[in-house]
Amino acid sequence: MKIGFIGLGNMGAPMAANLARTHEVLGFDTVAAPDGLTLAASAAEAAEGADVVITMLPNGTILRTVAAEIHPAMTPGAVHLDCSTVDVDSARAVAAMAEAAGLSAIDAPVSGGIGGATNGTLTFMAGGPKAAFDTLVPLFDIMGQKAVHCGDAGNGQAAKICNNMILGVTMIATCEAFVLADKLGLDRQAMFDVVSTSSGSSWSMNTYCPAPGIGPQSPADNGYRPGFAAELMLKDLRLSQMAAEAADADTPMGLAAMELYAAFVEAEDGAGRDFSAMLPRFEKRGRN
């Protein structure tokens, strides 16, 4: 396939590089110029004549702007695959723009972080026409380990928002539990051995343990350098609460997690750290 790839940051660049091993990829980014990729002078140039244009962008406002630029340049019948994490309304607006231009659009945010992007082990959660999704399966197979069609336009973003709301809440609970265990005199390894095989187990505990030296290797073992930055968790939790407000859904735990990550990132030392660095945050605090 001929692929345009717009947004070559920490996630987009390795995804594009994996695709470039077997497909013709023309990339564009307003700032980054990663080695090993052929680059266009503009987003529209990257999109021109492409079978698929992939976007990996910071937010819904930028996505809408880029979509307005690339859709007129794309060949009718081509697919706009957006892998950004944005608000549901923006995903659905871009899908409507694509349909009006004679294109197909799939919103397919990812889970797996920079490591997953580099290793080709991402999970894609996709919304949009099933026929368009099916044409993209060979690309999903290169960039990831799993792609799930979640339904109509915007449902990929809905799945990502719900997933990451769970992740934010469970990471906070895991960090709180380790600190409580410490103060009760329970050894961290014993805590892990029990919880990881009991009803309290979760991905945050079993796979991405926030306690250094416990469980599989994680950012906690690397000074909490980001695998998934706290700022990105805050962004996703804010998206979850925007969606919850629009849908009139009661999500008090999601709201509490958003408020805690906002304090951590914006008023404390969380900026530039992994989202699991909530553990040392709680270690420094008492009951009040």
Task: Report whether 46 contacts 6 (CB < 8 A).
Answer: yes
* CA distances to 54, 208, 219, 252 from 213, in Å: 38, 11, 10, 32
Question: CB neighbours (10 Å) of residue 235?
Answer: 19
- Which of 2, 130, 160, 235 is catalytic? The answer is 160
Residues with Cβ within 8 Å of 155's Cβ and at least 6 positions away in sequence, in order, are: 107, 126, 127
Instruction: Return the residue matching tokens 């797996």.
Output: 112
Separation between Cα atoms, residue 124 and residue 49, nearest integer Å: 25
Amino acid at 157: Q
- Is 284 one of the catalytic residues? no
Question: How far is CA 36 from its chain centroid?
Answer: 24
DSSP 3-state of 212: coil
For residue 245, what are its two tokens? 């407000």
Separation between Cα atoms, residue 86 and residue 66, nearest integer Å: 13
User: Which long-range contacts (C-beta less than 8 Å, at least 24 apart) are formed by 266-271?
Assistant: 270/230, 270/231, 271/230, 271/231
Question: CB neighbours (10 Å) of residue 241?
Answer: 19
End-to-end CA gap in the chain: 58
DSSP 3-state of 39: strand
Q: Residue 40 half-sphere exposure, CB side, CA atoms within 13 Å?
A: 23
Cα angle, residue 234 at apex, residues 161 and 87 outer, rounded to 5°: 40
Could you give the residue numbers annotated as active site? Answer: 160
